[in-house]
Structure 1
Amino acid sequence: MKNNKYIWIASIVSIMTFSSCTNELDQSPIDPDSFTEKNVFSNVENVKSALAKVYASLVLTGQSGPAGDADIQGIDEGTSQFSRMLFYMNELTTDHAVVGWGDPGLPDLHEMSWSSSNTLTEAMYYRLAQVVSFSNSFIVNATPLNDDVEVQYYIAEARFLRAYAYYNLLDLYGAVPITTTISTELPLQMTRKQVFEFVEGELLDVQNLLKDSGANEYGRVDKVAAWALLSRLYLNAEVYINENKYNECVTFSEKVINSSYIINTIDANSNGTAYDELFLADNDSNGAQNEFIFALNFDGLNSQTYAGTTFLIHASIGGTMDPADFGVNGGWFGLRTTKTLVQKFSSSVTGSDSGGDPIAWSDTRAMFYTDGQNLEITTIANEFTDGYAVTKFKNVDSNGAPGSDATGNFTDTDLPMIRLAEIYLNYAEATVRGGAGSIGTAVDLMNELRERAYGNQSGNIVSGDLDISFIMNERSRELYWEGFRRTDLIRNNQFTESSYLWPFKGGVAQGIGVGKFRDNFPFPTNIILTNPNIEQNNKY
């Protein structure tokens, strides 16, 4: 499995040497045309290398390694990577995270005061547009070779990646344009319902074209990924199209649950829990890979970036923390969490919960560093000790050895974008909201996750415990810092509303509600100026 990861990353690196420029949508990200020259598609093996670049558009940031030839202009290259910006937009804007840095546009996110000229929300739009562009170009150029069965799978994978990009555009921005061809014409803006239906239609189609469950090599998607993304799409349908799709969410969640993917229960490092294995440097081989339906692959030597898990690990280290414990050479003194997340574990705490003293949580998913850290946040900027640090991600393997980069700069830890635990939670929530699932099954699924977290049945629940409030808190405990929180809060009318507050929400220490329009991010000002077909989101 590890060798398969390295082979796949090598394909990504080799294809990233092609250079390119922009013209398709008159946007800042590079255009894919130069990597789709006819010689690249001269044989099936080259086609696979081209597909690797489509995957790489979610992982890497430029044409020459971690810095120096960026895909997107006007923003720090490391910052522009997809999962780093997803963290900023879906976690930093919520009760899950704060950061003390003053980079342009960054303080506005947790304060919920961003504008249409915010550098980060603009770059995310460009990054996702690039994924769409690369996918479109690949599909067009690979189609003449689709008599080959493997090429048919490659095209289906590119369509999934395009649908995944459009899902994120739908979730973050709403009514985006849709383009499926290489064209110099400015695309028309779709309604949010049309974007939803496009994503839905693509996933329903490719589910029958992708490889069977578990039949693809690690790092590439199979049909279960399509089912899982449909589960996520349908769970949020009321937000996106004002229609209830909970029955559909249950249906596709069941398909995923009955697939070959399993919840990891292998405690490879013998520390009493199998949860932390999901976020270690060997999570492509320690058992965690069996839970990962779609993951971004990182390698400290062969796919270097200042984002991905390199960002999550370095940025979470500061204060009295020892970087060597995390397999890296230093901390960036940035990311912490708020007491609102910490207190979701408070029923399973022994010891002090006020900071300073060691704390033991019965729920092992509570992965916090408290020594010298304050539970209460009095100031965000430049005060790493305000807020508990999060120790969820590490660049050490199950034996405690650091990752492959001897310098300690870059990490090997892969980052799950879709894992089976999310689908368990989707099934439970859709069932409680009226979908045609079984409450008994939902309770069993929750208890499977909680038995892994507690190491025994002491945290198990009964059907009377299973309500929306419990599921929301359980999603927070299971999935924090994995890019879900903003979407979850919006679905439950808690993101902008004053009924649910956290420290410095709305830029006020005790938290305040903000305008409902902030459930969507604005279209970048440059996009509006470039394409008059696009109407700005309300109140931006």
Structure 2
Amino acid sequence: MKKINLIVSIFSLVTLLSCTQDLDVISTDSTVKTPEALFSTPEGYKQALAGVYGNLSLTGTGDAGSSFLEGIDAGTSQFGRCLWYLQEMTTDEVVWSYENDEGTAELNRNTWGSSNPILLGFFSRTMAEVAIANDFLRQSAPEKLTSRGITNATDVANINMYRNEVRVLRAYAYYNLMDMFGKAPFYDESSAINSQGPEYNRQQLFTFIESELNAVLPNLKAARTNEYGRVDQGVANMILAKIYLNAEVYIGTPKYTECMTKCSTIITSGYALNTNYLNNFKADNNTSSEIIFALQSDGRVTQNYGATTVIINGQVGSVESNGADFGVGGWGGAFRLRKQFVQKFDGSDYAADVRNTIISGSRPIDITNISTNGQGYVLAKWSNKTVAGVAGSSSNFVDTDFPVFRLADAYLMYAEAQMRKGGAINGGTLANADATSLGYINALRTRAKGVSVGATAVNLDFIIDERARELHWEAFRRQDLIRFGKYTTGYNWAWKGNSLNGTSISDNMKLFPIPANSLKANPNLTQNNGY
């Protein structure tokens, strides 16, 4: 099998209630092992590690509709799907046609509140990742290994490596909570059982994430040397690059030099741009030399309604009925493109750009009614077919992994950080891309068969549009628009603020509200301003 074995026995299901009161979890699967049984052998620790990874791809121990989060639907709590919804559907890139689906209308129209089920699903799933990671770290402490008779030097070294990977996954979870909610209850492996975690603000979360990743970095495997789908130094450096690029948003302090340093490390770590841009989004994209970390998907053994299953089925057009082109049945036009994104590819520079997979046909570009799925153009970027054109193992659940981080993003992050360090500001016309940044930008445009640009054409407005052209539908757009000062005011898109032509929204919406149920569960949490 092409993927890491995502063991369905998400091990902490039987103990999560003792880890945090912020979550109610259940396990009705009799095959889920107790900690005593699971952690009795070195092989059990490898299975448990797969459980920590598995929580990012799976929702429960049963079929695609199962969830171990009590009272939360699997479809509104799958990590990758919720991440994608919150970072993409709330922006200028896409709308979801079926607004009767819980929580989607509020995301489409930027009218969400603290009772939105998708917000609850993402917050709970991400906090579950923290809880599962903490349980692994408790169970793998040196004294635990000794008490269980696990003393072989190789076994101990392997388990210590697993611990370092788990710490990165926990930091990644807190990075997403910091980005989206600006705060979270804090737990680590030393937190008292049945305690209610204190609230950490953005500065505290930033400090934890940064220190945690820097602490484990020297002990992780070098980039591209670990088993596919597992954490290595490239992943940790990419998370650090992300928090440094967004540091002015997160903590009010620029860290562009640090971002450039991390991006340079990533760029020289053995990754290489895939010669074909679209091969990064196909059913065998696990072979791409460009992908740094991905959420795994396998249509046979990880069946769930996760990011790529939703994206690929959703991009099938209601007019085109083109599911066969992508190896799926399709969901009748679930996703369509907002006009403002389509216009990023206007002009002769992008006529032959392979990143431009927009299908217009006889469709109108304007979406005057979100429920009319024949309005608005559709996309053909993602596929459940391999590079050779072979359809995936299922036409319902795809084999395509979701790229969390790609080398191309490191190129664009470096360029942006260098320009901001050199004095470029949001809304400014200063063009100060140096030769290195321009080389990275044009490497992507050359790969895409787009027209190369000169330094005088590259200001920050160019950069954010280029990020849209390169990284659209990859769960960065909301974060990017906020960093560029274009999310709440100054730039509108169709149906922003529940207005056909778009309208400004209040600045508090740069953060999502803490879900009402989470506030009730932990009195230490406070609501974000404006909700």
Common fold, TM-score beyond 0.5? Answer: yes
Deviation at 1:65, TM superposition (A): 2.5
Q: Do 2:14 and 2:34's aligned partners in 1 also have CA atoms closer than 8 Å?
A: no
Equivalent residue of 2:184, what SS?
Answer: coil
Q: TM-score, normalised by structure 2?
A: 0.91
Task: Confirm whether residue 131 of structure 1 aligns to residue 136 of structure 2.
Answer: no
Deviation at 1:73, TM superposition (A): 3.5
**Structure 1 residues 142 and 372: alpha-carbon distance in aligned structure 2, compared to 1, 3 A threshold:** farther
Pairs within 5 Å for 1:446-485: 446-454=441-449, 459-485=451-477
Deviation readout 1:307-344 (Å, 9 max, x if unpaired): 22111111121222321111012324211111111110
Aligned mates of 1:364, 1:29 — CA distance in 2:
46
Letter in 2 for 1:372: S
Q: Do 1:79 and 1:307's aligned partners in 2 also have CA atoms closer than 8 Å?
A: no
Pairs within 5 Å for 1:152-191: 152-181=160-189, 183-191=193-201
Aligned mates of 2:222, 2:59 — CA distance in 1:
31
Partner of 1:362: 352
Aligned mates of 1:17, 1:488 — CA distance in 2:
34
Aligned mates of 1:348, 1:25 — CA distance in 2:
55
Deviation readout 1:79-134 (Å, 9 max, x if unpaired): 32111111111100000110111212210112111111111111110010000001
Letter in 1 for 2:503: I
Deviation at 1:384, TM superposition (A): 1.1
Deviation readout 1:360-392 (Å, 9 max, x if unpaired): 9311101122223221111112x1111111111
Task: Confirm whether residue 113 of structure 1 aligns to residue 111 of structure 2.
Answer: yes
Q: Do 2:359 and 2:380's aligned partners in 1 also have CA atoms closer than 8 Å?
A: yes
Q: Do 2:80 and 2:307's aligned partners in 1 also have CA atoms closer than 8 Å?
A: yes
Pairs within 5 Å for 1:41-120: 41-67=39-65, 69-101=66-98, 102-120=100-118
**Structure 1 residues 491 and 330: alpha-carbon distance in aligned structure 2, compared to 1, 3 A threshold:** closer
Deviation readout 1:284-305 (Å, 9 max, x if unpaired): 12xx2x1111101110101100
Pairs within 5 Å for 1:437-448: 439-448=434-443
Task: Confirm whether residue 413 of structure 1 aligns to residue 410 of structure 2.
Answer: no
**Structure 1 residues 524 and 14: alpha-carbon distance in aligned structure 2, compared to 1, 3 A threshold:** closer
Aligned mates of 1:196, 1:486 — CA distance in 2:
19
Deviation at 1:27, TM superposition (A): 3.3
Aligned mates of 2:333, 2:14 — CA distance in 1:
35
Aligned mates of 2:12, 2:488 — CA distance in 1:
43
Counterpart pick for 2:380 among 391, 411, 419: 391
Aligned mates of 1:218, 1:172 — CA distance in 2:
28
Letter in 2 for 1:186: Q
Identical pairs, percent: 39
Aligned mates of 2:253, 2:499 — CA distance in 1:
34
**Structure 1 residues 245 and 35: alpha-carbon distance in aligned structure 2, compared to 1, 3 A threshold:** farther
Equivalent residue of 1:447, what SS?
Answer: helix
**Structure 1 residues 89 and 380: alpha-carbon distance in aligned structure 2, compared to 1, 3 A threshold:** same
Aligned mates of 1:184, 1:348 — CA distance in 2:
61
Aligned mates of 2:438, 2:13 — CA distance in 1:
50
Letter in 2 for 1:129: M
Aligned mates of 2:165, 2:277 — CA distance in 1:
29
Aligned mates of 1:224, 1:83 — CA distance in 2:
20
Deviation at 1:24, TM superposition (A): 3.0
Task: Confirm whether residue 530 of structure 1 aligns to residue 529 of structure 2.
Answer: no
Deviation at 1:76, TM superposition (A): 3.0
Deviation at 1:20, TM superposition (A): 6.1
Aligned mates of 2:468, 2:280 — CA distance in 1:
16
Partner of 1:328: 328
Equivalent residue of 2:485, what SS?
Answer: coil
Partner of 1:275: 277
Deviation readout 1:172-224 (Å, 9 max, x if unpaired): 00022211025211111122101110011111111111101211011111111
Aligned mates of 1:366, 1:94 — CA distance in 2:
19
Deviation readout 1:515-539 (Å, 9 max, x if unpaired): 0000000111111122111111001
**Structure 1 residues 31 and 246: alpha-carbon distance in aligned structure 2, compared to 1, 3 A threshold:** farther
Aligned mates of 2:343, 2:440 — CA distance in 1:
23
Q: TM-score, normalised by structure 1?
A: 0.90
Deviation readout 1:429-465 (Å, 9 max, x if unpaired): 00000169971100000111111111xxx51112112
**Structure 1 residues 518 and 385: alpha-carbon distance in aligned structure 2, compared to 1, 3 A threshold:** same
**Structure 2, gaps ≥5 residues long:** 146-150, 424-431
Deviation at 1:466, TM superposition (A): 1.8
Q: Do 1:503 and 1:510's aligned partners in 2 also have CA atoms closer than 8 Å?
A: yes
Task: Confirm whether residue 430 of structure 1 aligns to residue 420 of structure 2.
Answer: no
The 10-residue stretch of structure 1 (34-43 or 182-191) with the greater mean CA deviation from structure 2 = 34-43
Partner of 2:245: 235
Partner of 2:305: 306
Q: Do 1:246 and 1:435's aligned partners in 2 also have CA atoms closer than 8 Å?
A: no
Partner of 2:496: 505
Equivalent residue of 1:176, what SS?
Answer: strand
**Structure 1, gaps ≥5 residues long:** 266-273, 350-359
The 10-residue stretch of structure 1 (386-395 or 510-519) with the greater mean CA deviation from structure 2 = 386-395
Q: Supply the RMSD in Å over aligned alpha carbons.
A: 2.0
Task: Give the aligned length.
Answer: 505
**Structure 1 residues 76 and 372: alpha-carbon distance in aligned structure 2, compared to 1, 3 A threshold:** farther
**Structure 1 residues 438 and 344: alpha-carbon distance in aligned structure 2, compared to 1, 3 A threshold:** closer
The 10-residue stretch of structure 1 (384-393 or 323-332) with the greater mean CA deviation from structure 2 = 323-332
Equivalent residue of 1:208, what SS?
Answer: helix
Deviation readout 1:406-425 (Å, 9 max, x if unpaired): xx111100110011111111
Equivalent residue of 1:220, what SS?
Answer: coil
Aligned mates of 2:321, 2:353 — CA distance in 1:
22
Q: Do 1:501 and 1:512's aligned partners in 2 also have CA atoms closer than 8 Å?
A: yes
Equivalent residue of 2:292, what SS?
Answer: strand
Partner of 2:148: none
Partner of 2:22: 27
